[in-house]
Structure 1
Amino acid sequence: MTKTKVAGTGLELAPGDKVGIIAGGGSLPVEVAAGLAGQGHPPFVILMEGEVDRESEFRPYEQESLALEDVGSLVPLLKRHGITHLVLAGEIKRRPRLINLRPSLGLVAVIPLVVMALARGDDGLLKILARGLEARGIKVVGAHEIIPDLVATDGELTKSVPSKSDWRDIEAGRAAAKAIGALDIGQAAVAVGGRVIALEGIEGTAGLLLRAKELRSHGRIAGKSRGVLVKCAKPGQELRADLPSIGPQTVDAAHAAGLAGIAVEAGHSLVLDGPATIARANALGLFIIGLPAAELAHES
């Protein structure tokens, strides 16, 4: 069987292959769907109930809604629609409570995976889910495999660049982000004046930046100017889902917190709405920089 490569990607599809998207919140699932459609592979979209915030943009595609509590019907749904490849894209803000999971024959098969995944944290959940789907004949692919242009590149992405003091913040923030990532807590940290002032928790990057803004407005970091948001993949992270990402809203929130810029891990982070994100940063005078995935080796 001859496979065709989706232009500009590493994804190869055979005749009859069909790509599904489990769509959460944010712009990522929208961009993935548009990317697939633009390459002649319109996706089947599974809208996660209560999570999707740009639902109208999925109207051109074949779709179905799924509640988190109906996770047991996911594999039958995928099989019913002939899905061969699946992308997990977008933010899922809550987890289903085991007591609320709706009984089904499919659930009986996957409940051990669900229990294990919930016990292991976010990245453990994603890894187990991916393995479980692939064991049932559905290949899980990353959003970055479909739209490589979303992946942050190494080096400066904006007109503004980090100063010497910003690099001290970048180094401190990166070390902290990797440390909490190893514990599967979060992917980001904010450093100001060479020290870490806030770590990402369950509230996500938006909540992290709001805390940084409040600390500055309350005078808790008085006398300290600038500062940097640093986002990195967790050590050993499942790279096919939940890669660190930034977008225009991240830039606005970083600016509101009084930060000088954003540093992300090149190759392992996504820049959503890329042109708009870079343009917004340039307009506000913030820098965005991609850090090499290897150990930081900047000469201060």
Structure 2
Amino acid sequence: MAGRLSIFAGSGELVPHAVVAAKAAGYKVQVLALTPRDDLAGVKVVSADIANPLGIIWSLKIFRTSHIIMAGGIHLPDKARQDLIRFAAGADADADAAEAIAVPVGDAALAGLAGVLKKMTGAELVGIEEIAPELLAGRGHICGPEPDQGVEQSWRQALETAKVIGAMDIGQAAVLSGMRVIAVEDIGGTDDLITRVGDLARAGLAGDGSTPLVLAKAMKPQQPGFADLPSIGPTTVENCASNGISIIAVEAGRSLIVNRASVADLADKHAITVVGVSLDDG
């Protein structure tokens, strides 16, 4: 499938891995950086302004892009999302305020971009797992200490909670203590969620030691596979260790583990259990 690949790059550890994997797969690669990146040596990096979608289309055409991947975290204010979605729908960007309020602005609503990008550039949007399948989390114990008996129900409930908030296009993650929901991800992202949980634990409101704090990440039910699959990496493990979370559960086959060797080393160091869970297992 190798061709000419443009990577829409946000923040985080996934982007350099995507570049390496794409080049190893034989692609000619350019990066459209939606946030500043100074860690991408040996590849063409173009600064991309999400407020100028026609400029992005031009960059895709000039590069003769055949495939597009989205990698890394991208945080857009509602106005930027609304303008982007209108562009994807072919709507007038000067629509009145009442119409603007009616435009959905969640991540899943951005799925319409695939069609307009295909129409205007001929490029196909693909998931990063298509060029780097080793990133996908499998089922069962992945790394860190073997889990204690009796905690499976807690991490399944955490994953189900993440699915519920995902269906509302709020976030991809939730933290539970036993069967009690402690906090869920919002627009601030997973790192912010973990920090909030740590603040609650330090205030004595969560994580008293009788039940472990469980972080679960799951793909939104309505989310297209090419857009922002839930992921964890070394930073996730470090943040969990600093904030009292001792189990990380990810949706098997629909979540990514970035820098797996480092994740495993840190999971062992901090006694963080990482598991892949499929809700289809019953």
What does residue 142 of structure 2 align with?
157
Once the two structures are TM-superposed, the CA of residue 213 in structure 1 deviates from its matched residue by 0.6
Q: Which residue of 2 aligns with 1:97?
A: 79
Q: In the TM superposition, what are the counterparts of 1:111-260 in structure 2 within 5 Å?
A: 112=91, 119-125=104-110, 127-136=111-120, 137-221=122-206, 223-225=208-210, 226-260=212-246
Structure 1 stretch displaced more, 191-200 or 219-228: 219-228
Measure, in 2, the Cα distance between the counterparts of 1:199 and 1:99: 22
TM-score, normalised by the number of residues in structure 2: 0.88
CA RMSD of aligned residues (A): 2.6
CA contact (8 A) 2:7 2:30 kept: yes
Over 3 Å counting, the alpha-carbon distance change for 1:193 and 1:111 in structure 2 is same
Report the TM-score when normalising by structure 1: 0.83
- The question of whether the paired residues in 1 share the 8 Å contact of 2:234 and 2:262 is answered with yes
Identity %: 31
1:162 Cα shift?
2.1
Partners of 1:275 and 1:109 in 2: how far apart? 39
Alignment partner of 1:84 is 2:66: yes
Match of 1:292? Answer: 278
**Which blocks of at least 5 consecutive residues in structure 2 are unaligned?**
94-99
For 2:47, the equivalent position in structure 1 comes to 65
Shift of 1:112: 2.4
1:56 matched to 2:38 = yes
Please identify, of 111-120 and 79-88, the stretch whose mean Cα deviation from structure 2 is larger: 111-120
* Secondary structure class of the residue paired with 2:226: coil
Identify if the C-alpha distance between structure 1 residues 282 and 99 changes in structure 2 by more than 3 Å, giving closer, same or farther. Answer: closer
Cα deviations across residues 21-74 of structure 1 (Å, max 9, x unaligned)?
1111112121111112223323111111xx24xx23323112311112112222
CA distance in 2, matches of 1:146, 1:268: 15
Output the CA distance in 2 between the equivalents of 1:67 and 1:44. 15
Distance, in Å, in 2 between the alignment partners of 1:69 and 1:133 is 15
Hey, what's the Cα distance between the residues in 1 that align with 2:82 and 2:55? 14
- Give me the whole-angstrom Cα distance separating, in 1, the residues matched to 2:255 and 2:152: 19
The answer to whether the 8 Å contact 1:188/1:231 transfers is yes
SS at match of 2:106: helix
